[in-house]
Structure 1
Amino acid sequence: MKILVTGGAGYIGSIVSAMLVDAGHSVVAIDDLSTSDASGVPAGVEFIRCDISQVATVLTPDSGFDAVLHFAGLIAAGESVQKPGLYWHVNTGGSLSLLVAMRAAGVRKIVFSSSAAVYGNPTQVPILESATVAPTSPYGENKLAVDFMLAGEVAALGIAATSLRYFNVVGAYRRGTTVMGERHTPETHLIPLALEAAAGRRPEFAIFGTDYPTPDGTTIRDYIHVEDLARAHLLALDNLTPGEHKVFNLGNGTGFSIREVLAVVEKVTGKPLPVIEKDRRAGDPAELVASSDAAKAELGWTPAKASLQDMVSDAWDFLNSGSQS
């Protein structure tokens, strides 16, 4: 198939693009490079610098695309609380531009990079796909809005759509002699920030909130290795069904608090972390842990790299490989 990957220079989009090429697909990646750079695009992928709002210039009626994997968007829940308009414009407005372009081009298959943020503060953990959606940040609201848009396109046009709601992505992917990992600018994710602090690249690591209703007062999250996550996207692509909007949660089913994660970081790096404590950030749920039973049953997906220590070790190796510079 000929596949368009939006956000294809980013952490997850680039690794999925690499796997798609290695599986025999023709891949075109677009990215505006606002939080990444073109060096992240893997060999074998055609790259076009393009803002998601201008995707119709690439996804044209004669472009020959068979499917879209949609990763493009802003990703920081905390920032979305401070800049809600920006997040609605980029994430939801950009996704609408994509769907309009797909409709005009006759492309009827899409896998969407959604988020567990749509669930907000869940009443039951692990979280099932049937759980109430009640996002606590504009970022989560953006993702949920796109899910609703996809459901509408499925109902109106009979397209095939799948939303993958995932949790915290960690680790790196080795493709031959190339190591691909997380290189956000600016970096906002917990484990890369902690590793950078351990490496002396940051003066400290901040814990935002120590008074949550959890055993140690810090938030609890599920973690998934990026290689496992990328495999799930290829399985979802193969599983797309016309006239259906499918939703799958992806995670390991085990939650770790921030303090537990930091303990693993110190163990892997062998370095003490300079930790400071700050007030809670608006929009951060206390606990998010996935049930991935549906993905296992329907997609045949099972995490192969479920150990948090292995995830952190891979991320640490990437940080020290020079590939992230």
Structure 2
Amino acid sequence: MTSANALRNLSGLSGKRLVVFGAGYVGGELARQAVEAGARVTALTRNEETARAFAAKGIEAVVADLASDAWHERIAGGADFVVNCVSGGGAGIDGYRRSYLEGMRSVAGWLTAKGGAGAAVYTSSTSVYPQDGGVRVDEAAAVDREGERPRVLVEAEELLLNLPKAAGRRAVLRLAGIYGPGRHHLLEQVRSGEVAGRGEHRLNLIHREDICAAIWSALLASAADGEIFNVADDGAAPKSEIVAWLAGKLGVALPVFTGAPAAGRRAVTPDRVIDNAKIKRVLGWRASYPSFREGYVAILGA
């Protein structure tokens, strides 16, 4: 089910062509929405099973490694919209660099060789921000160029934004912690009795449906050109508050916080509030799930 927020943005997609790179949790849903709205969609994935599922939904699927150039002749140029939603490829920092930076270099090379696209969006992460101590962080805040992983993300952002021939419009969306249907990491931790991180640290979240709406807004708005936008809901709250609320909904005992990073992370996520004022002001975007309460009620059906 596509939210009213997204549907408003999808009305002009019929007959348009979208290419999605990294068609996983977010990109796959974006592709589904586009087909539902009458667009022609090509999705690149590394997974054969995912490709078969896409083909069954009317999505042209290409199985390839984004960081290579083997797919360049398999995907035609001239797309109206291009979105790079790639996620980390595992295998430590080398896999991270290959997925994000080398993948973006490959996309940039394809766009340049094929004459560009109408609009291109890259989904980055708010993990580029090092700020801590409960501060509010907007797009003007300094990014972390010392840490290996944040630096890779920032370099990938700059690669797209500094390549004017890549697309008529280019934008970067820095996503907060992603959750939604089928992505229940925090719920699973609450059920287990142990939650990573620190309870006093604020947690910034964004529902998948609202990410898709933000991507559509950025692709379709001329005001988005060359801009970076934070994409987070309005409900940043101490993790202890969110966990206590979830424990009550699940009917389980209040879990303990480990004080350690979540699996796959090198450090505990800093305590800050990701400011979403710019995307509201410039693009008119609003979260359909403005806080964790609305989002998790939809997931839990309660």
Match of 1:230 among 212, 215, 222: 212
Change (3 A) 1:294 1:197: closer
How far apart, CA to CA, are the structure 1 residues paired with 2:71 and 2:227? 28
How far apart, CA to CA, are the structure 1 residues paired with 2:232 and 2:84? 19
How far apart, CA to CA, are the structure 2 residues paired with 1:18 and 1:158? 23
Match of 1:49 among 55, 59, 63: 63
How far apart, CA to CA, are the structure 2 residues paired with 1:94 and 1:196? 31
Aligned-partner SS, 2:150: helix
Match of 2:175 among 146, 155, 166: 166
1:311 corresponds in structure 2 to: 295
- Given that 1:161 and 1:240 are in contact with CA atoms closer than 8 Å, whether structure 2 keeps it comes out as no
Aligned-partner SS, 1:195: helix
The one-letter amino acid of 2:81's match is A
Change (3 A) 1:252 1:148: same
Compute the displacement of 1:233 (Å).
0.7
- Given that 1:194 and 1:273 are in contact with CA atoms closer than 8 Å, whether structure 2 keeps it comes out as no
Alpha-carbon RMSD: 3.1
- Structure 1: give runs of 5+ residues left out of the alignment: 173-180, 183-191, 211-215, 318-325
The one-letter amino acid of 1:140's match is P
- Given that 2:133 and 2:270 are in contact with CA atoms closer than 8 Å, whether structure 1 keeps it comes out as no
Match of 2:110 among 91, 101, 118: 101
Match of 2:186 among 179, 184, 194: 194
How far apart, CA to CA, are the structure 2 residues paired with 1:258 and 1:309? 13
1:294 corresponds in structure 2 to: 278
Paired-residue identity, %: 22
How far apart, CA to CA, are the structure 1 residues paired with 2:82 and 2:69? 11
2:9 corresponds in structure 1 to: none
The one-letter amino acid of 1:6's match is F
1:1-325 alignment to 2 at 5 Å? 1-8=16-23, 10-33=24-47, 37-38=50-51, 41=54, 43-54=57-68, 57-58=71-72, 62-74=76-88, 83-108=92-117, 109-121=119-131, 125-134=135-144, 137-154=147-164, 159-172=168-181, 181-182=182-183, 192-197=184-189, 203-208=192-197, 210=198, 216-217=199-200, 219-240=201-222, 244-272=225-253, 275=256, 277-280=258-261, 282-316=266-300
Change (3 A) 1:273 1:55: farther
Compute the displacement of 1:278 (Å).
4.6
Compute the displacement of 1:97 (Å).
0.9
Task: Give the count of matched residue pairs.
Answer: 282
1:188 corresponds in structure 2 to: none
Per the normalisation by structure 1, the TM-score is 0.75
Aligned-partner SS, 2:245: helix
How far apart, CA to CA, are the structure 1 residues paired with 2:136 and 2:234? 7
